[in-house]
Amino acid sequence: MTESVKRWLRRQNPKFNFLHHSFGNNSFRLLDIGTGNHSATKTVSLFPACEYHGLDISRDYNNDAEDFGLMKAFYEMDLTRLDFSRLPDDYFDAILVVHVIEHLHNGDEVLKGLISKLRKGGSMYVEYPGPRSKKLPSMKGTLNFHDDSTHVRLYTVKELTALFSGNGCTVRSAGTRRSWFYTLATPFRIPLRWARGKEVTGNVFWDLLGFAEYVWIRKN
């Protein structure tokens, strides 16, 4: 598989699709909330002009020296304390909050606090398990909301769009996360995972079954 094909496939991830649609190959300042699993390396490989800032409650979420070397800054913070003073105000062009708020009892207040860190015209992409996730079957890797014992609160599009609209933002798009590429590729992803010696986990079915919701906003 060529590098260009790998990049194209990686860009089908909804959060990267959001960044590509918003910035293309232009430079931008990004704050990535929940920056584990080599997120810095994956992001900068697709957007080399990105000024990447990572934030997580711990440095130890599957990152290495290469990841930290690509970061302009890393903030080790417990967001539930609602102390955002270490983050620069009116600075970021984009903030990613992908599968984070469901782990926070006060995720709504966290989102409010992050708005001030966006520059005027900046965007935020938030993704989380929606109400439909409570009706899906249980599966390793999380297909039902309760499969992950660290999930503490369910959020909805209605709740979050009202929150952002009431705090100086315009909702550009919101609803059920549906990557049509991932949806159509589901029957092929299963044997491919088996062929690579990997288990078929719940996230393979997220787009097909509507596990997650998203909200994409712009700061006025």
Please answer whether residues 96 and 31 qualify as being in contact, where contact means their C-beta atoms are separated by less than 8 angstroms: yes
Is the pLDDT at 102 greater than 80? The verdict is: yes
Percent of the chain at pLDDT exceeding 70: 100
Q: How far is CA 78 from the centre of its chain?
A: 17
Residue-level pLDDT at 133: 98
Q: Would you state the structure tokens that stand for residue 99, as one six-digit string?
A: 């599968």
Whole-prediction pTM: 0.94
**CA separation for the pair 217, 125 (Å, rounded):** 7
Say what percent of the chain tops pLDDT 90.
Answer: 85
Q: What is the mean pLDDT of residues 119-126?
A: 98
With cut-offs at 50, 70 and 90, classify the pLDDT of residue 6: confident
- pLDDT given for residue 72 in this prediction: 96
Domains of the chain, first to last: 3-219 (3.40.50.150)
Q: Rounded mean pLDDT of 114-132? A: 98
Q: Average the pLDDT over 9-29 and give the result.
A: 92
